[in-house]
Amino acid sequence: MMNANKFESPFHFIGNRITKLSIKNDFVSLDGNDKDIKYNLDVDYEVKDITKKEEEHYGLIQLFIKTEAKKGKKHCVIDLTIEGCFSSSVNSEDEFIPLLEINGSTALYSIARSIIINVSSQTFQTGQMILPMLNVFLMHKEKEKIKAQNIPTS
């Protein structure tokens, strides 16, 4: 085994909260093996606040997730907004913002996946919605490209 202390990140998770959770559901059960069920997933993030206290940068970021399952007239939508607070001792705000956007979104997405699994498993008689893993780095690159072109993301 390797001593993980020498790999500790300068980026730290402080906490999170759910600011929005809504569920609309027509399914009794959700069979993950049913190829006729169509899934859709929309994800976005927004930096809400950045402050500096002494040598630490603090940032709030919101992650927006909307996931849908649809089969015929049956439809389930879970809409979740989760907000996280992070800190870092990096030297500048320009270094902190990408950490917050990429690492913060990644951490919140992992938490959101578990929330959606938990909530959906209690929503359906059987089954659950399991969100796919995301490459947040690629999502961030795409968002930066869109921002540079002044195209709205919503």
Q: Which two tokens stand for residue 73?
A: 């007239």
CA 75/CA 14 separation, integer angstroms: 36
CA 131/CA 128 separation, integer angstroms: 10
Residue 146 pLDDT more than 90?
Answer: no
What is the tens place of the pLDDT at every residue in 51-106? 999 989 999 999 999 999 999 999 999 999 999 999 999 989 999 999 999 999 99
Beta bridge partners, 23, equal 78
3-state secondary structure of 43: strand
Residue 152 counted as domain residue:
no
Q: Which two tokens stand for residue 19?
A: 């600011």
Host domain of residue 127: 16-146
Residue 151 pLDDT more than 70?
Answer: no
Residue 8 counted as domain residue:
no
Query: For the residues 95-122, what does the mean pLDDT come to?
Result: 97
Contact 116, 129 (CB under 8 A): yes
Name the residue among 110, 99, 108 with its Cα closest to residue 137: 99
Name the residue among 11, 15, 12, 10 with its Cα closest to residue 85: 15
Residue 6 pLDDT more than 90?
Answer: no
Residue 41 counted as domain residue:
yes
The more confidently predicted of residues 146 and 48 is 48
Residue 135 counted as domain residue:
yes
Q: How confident is the model at residue 154 (pLDDT cuts 50, 70, 90)?
A: low
In the numeric block, the tokens 């938490």 are attached to 111
Q: What's the pTM?
A: 0.90
What is the tens place of the pLDDT at every residue in 10-67? 899 999 999 999 999 999 988 888 899 999 999 999 999 999 999 899 999 999 999 9
How many domains are contained in the chain?
1
Residue 152 pLDDT more than 90?
Answer: no
Query: For the residues 142-149, what does the mean pLDDT come to?
Result: 89
CA 131/CA 134 separation, integer angstroms: 9
Q: How confident is the model at residue 115 (pLDDT cuts 50, 70, 90)?
A: very high
Residue 9 counted as domain residue:
no
CATH of the domain at 84: 3.10.420.10
- A 10 A CB-CB count for 109 gives 19
Predicted pLDDT of residue 139: 94
Residue 124 counted as domain residue:
yes
Residue 151 counted as domain residue:
no
Name the residue among 40, 14, 21, 4 with its Cα closest to residue 103: 14
